[in-house]
Amino acid sequence: MKKILLLLSSITMIFALEIPKNHLVDSNWLEKNQNEKNLVIIDTREKADYEKGHIKNAINFPKNEWNKGTTIEIPKLYNTPEQIEEIAKKAGISKDSIVVFYSAGKEDTDFENAATAMWSLWIYGFQNSVILDGGFEKWLSEKRVISKEVPNIKESDFEIEKFVNDVASLNDVVNAIYDENIQISDARVAKFFKGEDDRKDLLRHGHIPTAKLTPMIRYLKKENSYYTFVSQDETKTTLNNSGYGIELDKPLIVYCNTGQKAKGLWFIAKFMADMKDVKVYDGSMVEYSRTNFPIETSEEF
The mean-pLDDT minimum among 7-21, 59-73, 141-155 falls in 7-21
The confidence band for 73, taking pLDDT boundaries of 50, 70 and 90, is low
3-state DSSP assignment of residue 39:
strand
Select from 193, 188, 172, 191 the least CA-distant residue to 253. 172
Q: What angle do CA 163, 129, 34 make, to 5 degrees?
A: 150
CB count within 10 Å of CB 152 equals 6
Domain match, 42 and 123 both: yes
* Residue that finishes a domain, picked among 118, 147, 176: 147
Q: What is the pLDDT, as a whole number, of residue 161?
A: 85
Average of per-residue pLDDT across 218-241: 97
Same domain, 136 and 239: no
Q: Are 219 and 185 in contact (CB under 8 A)?
A: no
pLDDT at 77 over 60: yes
Stretch among 71-85, 121-135, 144-158, 257-271 having the lowest mean pLDDT? 71-85
DSSP-assigned beta bridge partners for residue 102: 43
> Is-contact 239 247, C-beta < 8 A?
no
Task: Decide: helix, strand or coil at residue 165.
Answer: coil
Residues 91 and 132 in one domain: yes
Query: What pLDDT band is residue 5 in, cutting at 50, 70 and 90?
Result: very low
CATH number of the domain bearing residue 231: 3.40.250.10
Per-residue model confidence (pLDDT) at position 15: 45
How far is C-alpha 133 from the geometric centre of its chain's CA atoms?
13
19 and 136, same domain (yes or no) = yes
**What pLDDT score was predicted for residue 140?**
97
| 139 and 240 co-located in one domain | no
Is 5 a domain residue?
Answer: no
Q: Quick one: 181 and 88 in the same domain?
A: no
Q: Which domain holds residue 276?
A: 167-288
pLDDT score at 253: 98
Query: Among 29-43, 129-143, 156-170, 219-233, which is the least confidently predicted range?
Result: 156-170
Q: Tell me the per-residue pLDDT of 236-291, one tens digit each, with 9 for 90 and over.
A: 999 999 889 999 999 999 999 999 999 999 999 999 999 999 999 999 999 999 99
The predicted-structure confidence for 10-62, as pLDDT tens digits, reads as follows 344 444 588 999 999 999 999 999 999 999 999 999 999 999 999 999 999 99
H-helix or E-strand containing 278? Answer: strand 278-281
Question: Per-residue pLDDT averaged across 168-186, rounded?
Answer: 97
pLDDT confidence of residue 235? 97
Q: Is residue 158 part of a domain?
A: no
The mean pLDDT value for 185-196 works out to 97
Does residue 197 sit in the same domain as residue 78? no
Q: Does residue 183 surpass a pLDDT of 70?
A: yes
Residues 6+ apart with CB under 8 A from 234: none
For the chain, how many structural domains are there in total? Answer: 2
Contact 212, 247 (CB under 8 A): no
* CA distance between the termini of the chain: 50
Which amino acid is located at 288 in the chain?
Y
Query: Pick from 111, 93, 94: which is nearest to 102 by CA?
Result: 111
- Domain shared by 27 and 134, yes or no: yes
Strand order in the sheet with 129-132: 24-25, 129-132, 98-102, 39-43, 58-60
137 lies in some domain: yes
Give domain status of residue 159, yes or no.
Answer: no
| Whole-structure pTM value | 0.91
